[in-house]
Amino acid sequence: MSRSDDPSYRMAVGVLGWFGMAFLVFPVLLTIVVSFGGSVFIEFPPQSFSLKWYANIAEVQQIGRAVLISLGVALATAAIATVMAIPAALAITRHDFPGRGTLVAFLVSPVTVPMVAIGIAVSQFFVWIGGGTGWFALLVGHTVLVSAYPVRTLVASLSLSNPSLEEAAASLGATRWVAFRTVVLPQLMPGLVSGFLFAFLISFDNYPISIFLVKGGLTTMPIEIFNYISQNLDPTPAAFSTIYVLIVSAVIVLAERRFGIVSLSVKG
């Protein structure tokens, strides 16, 4: 009998698992409940229910503007990071080259370097080259931050895919480019999609780096939400967060259905 068959072991793991899930999900549920509160102050449990805070999102124009800016930055960031990740992942999985281990470690490092450090570094860099802050600085900063994620998901995708597929394509008359397009790229779809999503989401709600790079009139969603919370006590941000959570969940469910990305991010 292996240990995973032991009923008490299974129970302990099960309890821990559900406890962990609850720990992660509880704040989200709380936010959702609070967003429907009728009071002008955040209260739990709500004494009355209302949808007015959802209507209020539209009234707070700086949030709307910031969301559009964040969307633009996050889409551009994710696109650049994902495209850059393809050759990087191919090099890492298909070739052994000097410094490969270092490169892999480096690509994983933004995960371990404090974001504030990246924020300061990028803002200093732009001051140094005289570029100042703004949209382009946000794009660069976020790209530095998220670049590792698509590489990791693509490396996972590539190491799951069979290298002899490319050779099979070649033996059937496909040039390298055609083989890449018709055989390798379709194998990479789960990695591309999940890498893009990772990059997009991390960029979209990043605060610590953005705070160094925004300037007056050009702020991102998380910064505006934070500003709003520091000046107002009503549940509008909760309503906004609820919508955000719903949209992101829907996108992830769809991506999983279509591309099976979850198994990949676990392996990555």
Partner 1 sequence: MARIELTGLEYRVGVTRILNDVSLAVEEGECLALLGPSGCGKTTTLRVIAGFVTPDSGDVCIGGASVLALRPHRRNVGLVFQDYALFPHLTVAENIAYGLVRRRVPREAISRQVGAMLETVRLTGMERRRPQELSGGQRQRVALARALVIKPDVLLLDEPLGALDRILRDQMQVELKRIRRDLGITTIIVTHDQEEALSLADRIAVMFDGRIVESGAPEHLYARPETRAVMAFLGASNIVEGRIEAIVGDVATVRVGDFAVRAGHWGGKNAGDAVQIGIRPEAITIGPADSGSVENTLAGSVDELVYKGPHTEVYVRFPGGRDMIVRVQGRPALAKGSVVTIRFALEDVLVF
From start to end of the chain, where are the E strands? none
List interacting residues with partner 1 (CB under 8 A): 162, 164-165, 167-175, 178-179, 182-183, 186-187
Tokens of 68: 């559009």
Least Å from the CB of residue 179 to partner 1: 8
Residue 122 or 179 with smaller CB distance to partner 1: 179
Tokens of 19: 């406890």
Q: Can you tell me which residue has the tokens 């925004």?
A: 214
d(CA 256, CA 241): 22
Residue 211 or 255 with smaller CB distance to partner 1: 255
Residue 10 or 181 with smaller CB distance to partner 1: 181
Least Å from the CB of residue 167 to partner 1: 6
34 close to 42: Cβ distance less than 8 angstroms: yes
DSSP state of 209: T
CB contact burial 229-266 (16+ within 10 A = b; e otherwise)? eeeeebbbbbbbbbebeeeeeeebeebbeebebeebbe
Residue 179 or 199 with smaller CB distance to partner 1: 179
Least Å from the CB of residue 151 to partner 1: 22
Residue 62 or 187 with smaller CB distance to partner 1: 187
Least Å from the CB of residue 199 to partner 1: 24
Tokens of 64: 């709307």
d(CA 51, CA 58): 12
Residue 172 or 246 with smaller CB distance to partner 1: 172
31 close to 241: Cβ distance less than 8 angstroms: yes
Strand partners, 49: 37
d(CA 179, CA 165): 9
Least Å from the CB of residue 162 to partner 1: 6
Least Å from the CB of residue 242 to partner 1: 37
Residue 170 or 201 with smaller CB distance to partner 1: 170
Least Å from the CB of residue 177 to partner 1: 11
Closest CA to 120 of 208, 27, 7: 208
d(CA 164, CA 129): 46
